[in-house]
Amino acid sequence: MTFKLPPLPYDLSALEPHISEKTLSFHYGKHHHGYVNKLNELLVDSPLASKDLETVILETSGDAQKAAIFNNAAQVWNHTFYWNSMKPAGGGEPGKDLLKRIEKDFGDFDGFCTKFKEAAITQFGSGWAWLVEDQGHLKILKTGNAETPLTHKGVTPLLTCDVWEHAYYLDYQNRRPDYLDIFLKNLANWNFAEQNL
Ligand code: MN
């Protein structure tokens, strides 16, 4: 066992009623855990097995022959980042310093929310919405499938929302916009975003 499933930073029921225990137990216990197991299987007898997760992601990114390793490694990393991007009784506006940066780059907090939600909703199919820092500016990105801004040079991920259907379907069915509203209003962990800045 090279890579381990990191502990969830809260109980499986801690995000209720916004994200149910059922969703978290599947999402963390089956999906996230599944990516860890698959990655370990793929790395048996590979020199990459001795590297850290970030290095595995960077060294396999864009290499079609190593797409399966990249996909599973990036999904392990993205999910750990996502769990930390939420907390019980989160959401609403961030603290003063980050709020100022958001106002500088998005006009105001509502403007940020509108753009973040739009990126998340318009990500066709599976993927992720991100708040990142890029050359001194805050930006919103969306990535497809397992793609992660970790591989974008000079870009620091601050916060993410998983928009794969498995993240919200049990609780919100096809209503991805409702899930995004709740993420921003009740779940976003701005302390985590501030720590990443
Ligand atoms: Mn997911």
Q: Calculate how far, in angstroms, residue 167's C-alpha sits from the geometric centre of ligand 1.
A: 5
Q: Are 76 and 103 found together in one domain? A: no
Of 148, 133, 139, residue with least CA distance to 54: 148
Q: Are 100 and 80 found together in one domain? A: no
Q: Calculate how far, in angstroms, residue 163's C-alpha sits from the geometric centre of ligand 1.
A: 7
Q: Are 53 and 123 found together in one domain? A: no
Of 74, 84, 80, residue with least CA distance to 15: 84
Total of domains in the chain: 2
Q: Calculate how far, in angstroms, residue 85's C-alpha sits from the geometric centre of ligand 1.
A: 13
Is 16 part of any domain?
no
Q: Give CA–CA dist 39/125, Å, rounded.
A: 23
Q: Calculate how far, in angstroms, residue 107's C-alpha sits from the geometric centre of ligand 1.
A: 30
Per-residue pLDDT of the chain (197 residues; tens, 9 = 90+): 689 999 999 999 999 999 999 999 999 999 999 999 999 999 999 999 999 999 999 999 999 999 999 999 999 999 999 999 999 999 999 999 999 999 999 999 999 999 999 999 999 999 999 999 999 999 999 999 999 999 999 999 999 999 999 999 999 999 999 999 999 999 999 999 999 99
Q: Calculate how far, in angstroms, residue 30's C-alpha sits from the geometric centre of ligand 1.
A: 10
Is 192 part of any domain?
yes
Q: Are 122 and 76 found together in one domain? A: no
| CATH, residue 136 | 3.55.40.20
DSSP H stretches of helix in the chain = 21-26, 33-42, 53-60, 67-84, 96-106, 109-122, 165-172, 176-182, 190-196
Residue type at position 142: K
Q: Calculate how far, in angstroms, residue 93's C-alpha sits from the geometric centre of ligand 1.
A: 25
Q: Are 77 and 105 found together in one domain? A: no
Provide the residue range defining the domain that includes 102: 96-196
pTM: 0.97
